[in-house]
Structure 1
Amino acid sequence: MSRRTSRSQQRPTNTACPCGLPQSYDDCCGRYHSEASAAAPTAEALMRSRYSAFVKGDAAYLMRTWHPRTRPARLDLDPGMRWTGLEILDTDDGSAFHSTGTVTFRASYRGGSLHERSRFERVDGAWVYVDGEFPDQ
């Protein structure tokens, strides 16, 4: 008699990245989350990895990648929040050749969406989130 594994017992070893890029989570944003030495190379990559951290509930990564002058004392994530997708609307600067950059995005969640224009800066060579504004939706 052959032994079968039910679908509920099969677990993917490398799931899709929540940020929407075609790579797996481990090869995309997961490497920034798990390796303190791996830094996002652009403001957009950092923004995507921060979105993925919100999806995964990784408050430590969010705090680590927040600019020291604007970082809150603590971050309480809502465990009931279900993020459902990310759309990058615009980027300005934020490459390896810049010290600042902005990323405008729409992050969808069950029941609505968040539209933000985020500002990023480099601190000690690494991109960090500074703050954001919410354009009229």
Structure 2
Amino acid sequence: MLFNPTRDEARRFFIDAWQKHTQQAPLTDLERITVGVLLRHPEYQRFLTPDYLDRDWPPEIGETNPFLHISMHLAIEEQLSIDQPAGVRALYQQLCAHYGDEHAALHLMLDGLGEMIWHAQRHGVPPDPNLYLDILRTRLGQATSRD
């Protein structure tokens, strides 16, 4: 069975994980990973209340949706833990070495993941992991599979 939460369920999970963290309550493994992401993003911690469950962050206003950003971080954490798509972990390590900053490397990956998703939506095709890997290779100045 796939885990496919609604927008509200995902947001509530982030809020609950943060609340448990601030209360020093025991965390599940996924909550611990989530809190790790949230600790690297203090600018989003103020949104971790039920007051923001229904708020939208349309791209036109130029603000980053904190819940989407956290979700994408978690997606990349999962990719790295299982090296899927194959080779993504090595590219992450190369990005870290190249840019000298793990968090900057993660944000480059978020941008690449977002670009792949945008491409799939725009063209009505499934997400292409090879496109994603090529975007990361481009960030490193490497040849891509499309060259």
TM-score under structure 1 length normalisation = 0.27
User: Going by fraction, where is helix more abundant, 1 or 2?
Assistant: 2
User: Going by fraction, where is strand more abundant, 1 or 2?
Assistant: 1
Name which structure has the greater RCO, CA cutoff 8 Å, separation 6+.
Answer: 1
TM-score under structure 2 length normalisation = 0.26
